[in-house]
Amino acid sequence: MKKLIYTGLAILFLISCTKLDETVYSEIPSSEYPENAEQAAALTVPPYTHLSWLLDWGGWWFAQELPSDEIVCPTRLTDWDDGGKWRVLHQHTWNNETEAIIGMWDRLYSGALDCNEAIFLLPEPNSDETKKPIAKMEILRSYYYYLLIDNFGDVPFITSFADAPAQPMKTDRAVIFDSLVNTIERNIKYLPEVTTKYDVSKGMAYSLLAKLYLNAEVYTGIPQWGKAEMACDFIIDSLNYSLESNALGPFKTLNENSSENIFTIAFDENDPGERGEFNLHMRTLHYNSNLTFDMSAGPWNGFAAMEDHYNTYSENDTRKSGFLVGQQYGFDGEKLTDQGAEGADLILNPHIAALNMNATYTPIEIRLSGARVVKFEIAIGAKQRLSNDFPIFRYGDILLMKAEAMINQGENGDEFVNMIRSRAEADIWSGVGLDLLLEERGREMFWEGHRRQDLIRFGQFNKSWWEKDESTSDRNIFPIPQSAIDANPNLGI
């Protein structure tokens, strides 16, 4: 019989949350253990809910995109100043009290520790079928730890619920890497071949394995391109996934059955509940863009694509339709104007005058600068929250990862790069090298939370770009939040 001993202290020293349940339970009678798949599945629901926070106040998406060369959140007079929290991400001047970093740490550990609890509560498996829910939780936990070592380097590595240390020490991320790889490889055989896109499957597990091996040199100092390619091949050879015919197809409002998406975060505009929300469209669209999409809420006129990134798309590239530029029109076809810009026509200009646009800039520069992002479909009548599921892993990425692994082994990856470019009606390439591949990854994976990791892997993250000076290699990982160190001094060692 399992004993449930809730280790509230372990969570306290990892997560700077304000609400902690430190209840200690006695033994749970065996009659209370889940006896069927439906009850077991219910225990595995909480660990998934943390994924939905990664796009918003969980901080992960902000920390992947805003420090990159893809997007920016310019200050528009007082709008989007917010104490400079967006600028420090763009300029690589964050510290361990930056909001996005704190949110990311808290949410990722919440997910990992909830997986530990679910594994503890699930019944002891007596067959491959009853091993499945535990296997899913161990691999989902591996996903959270993959994000933790990717973003924070050495971190506490806790895989026990009842015996978790009160003040854990950090574990070298190379050691964690080896454990994650072993956990995934040990559990893959128990996973379903195909399931709902927001559930752990073989495709999800091999995608995670491919990501780990692709970044192995960053995490451990030892490249493992051949193993990364093999993991990609398992997905390609399974024939369970295929490219959508339209480059923006994986991002439609009703994308839960997309042939391209492998593992997604499920969102529903009508049911936020205790989950995070998909509101990136609110952060990027102009104040009056609600008139274009007949939206029930007015957007916030913030995030925009950096001009240099926008200009990497050729005119015939169909992915360019994922941006709003030029004259904007209402749902009724009427030309829109912006009264806040002295009644000027609402013409969105890819050029952004400055990162911090104060009163010395014109209202048109302040309010209408920057290409806005509509890569994820904004359905007519959209609300403040979208129902589009967000892909964590998708087949298009697998093809580019396959090409990268091949190029790094001295092989030709043109075939897989051109599958992506052909779908976008872009020119076909030959002799693709790593520089071109990084550019293509930027175009294809834009807005999906991959760019920071890609730039680090390619050795480009510390370069200077618009309104950002060169940074040092210590910026390649984020600092552990001060609030966590205050609770557990071992995290500061």
Instruction: Delimit the CATH 1.25.40.390 region(s) of the chain.
Output: 1-61+94-191+462-493
> Which residue pairs from 152-156 have beta carbons closer than 8 angstroms and sit at least 24 positions apart in sequence?
152/105, 152/477, 152/478, 152/479, 152/480, 153/477, 155/480, 156/14, 156/490, 156/491
Would you say residue 24 has pLDDT above 70?
no
The pLDDT tens digits of the residues spanning 366-408 come to: 999 999 999 999 999 999 999 999 999 999 999 999 999 999 9
DSSP labels for 59-79?
-HHHHHHTTTTSEE--EETTB
> Which pLDDT belongs to residue 356?
98
Contacts of 275 (CB under 8 A, 6+ apart): 49, 52, 53, 267
Q: Which helix (H) or strand (E) holds 305?
A: strand 304-305
Strand partners, 163: none
**What average pLDDT does range 100-109 have in this prediction?**
98
What mean pLDDT do residues 120-134 have?
A: 92
What whole-number distance in Å separates Cα of residue 410 and Cα of residue 128? 40
pLDDT at 294 (0 to 100): 98
CA distance 444 to 441: 5
Q: Pinpoint the alpha helices (H) of 195-284.
A: 202-214, 216-220, 225-238, 280-284
Topology annotation, domain 1-61+94-191+462-493: 1.25.40
pTM for this one?
A: 0.94
| Amino acid symbol at 419 | M
Percent above pLDDT 90 for the chain: 86
**In 165-201, which residue ranges form alpha helices assigned H by DSSP?**
173-187
DSSP E strands: which ranges in 100-219?
none
Q: What is the mean pLDDT of residues 76-97?
A: 98
What pLDDT, on the 0 to 100 scale, is given for residue 306?
Answer: 98
**223's torsion region: left (phi>0), alpha (psi -120 to 50) or beta?**
beta
Quote the pLDDT of residue 273.
67
DSSP 354-403: -SEE-TTS-HHHHHHBSBEE--S---TT--SS--PPEEEEEHHHHHHHHH
Cβ atoms 6, 116 nearer than 8 A: no
Residue 92 scores a pLDDT above 60: yes
Sequence-distant (6+) residues with CB within 8 A of 100 are 59, 62, 63, 66, 85, 89, 94
Q: Residue 475: is its pLDDT beyond 80?
A: yes
Q: What is the pLDDT of residues 412-470, one digit of tens each?
A: 999 999 999 999 999 999 999 999 999 999 999 999 999 999 999 999 999 999 999 99
Summarised one tens digit per residue, pLDDT across range 146-181 is 999 999 999 999 999 998 898 999 999 999 999 999
pLDDT at 3: 29
What is the pLDDT of the chain when averaged over all its residues?
A: 92
Q: Classify each residue of 472-491 as buried b or exposed e, where b means 16 or more C-beta atoms within 10 Å of its C-beta.
A: eeebbbbbbbbebbebbeeb
Confidence bin at 276 (pLDDT 50/70/90): confident
Supply the pLDDT for residue 96. 98
Which residues 6+ apart lie within 8 Å of 66 measured at CB? 72, 73, 86, 89, 90, 100
Query: Given a cut of 70, is residue 272 above it in pLDDT?
Result: no
Mean pLDDT value across residues 77-100 = 98
**Would you give the end-to-end CA distance of the chain in angstroms?**
38
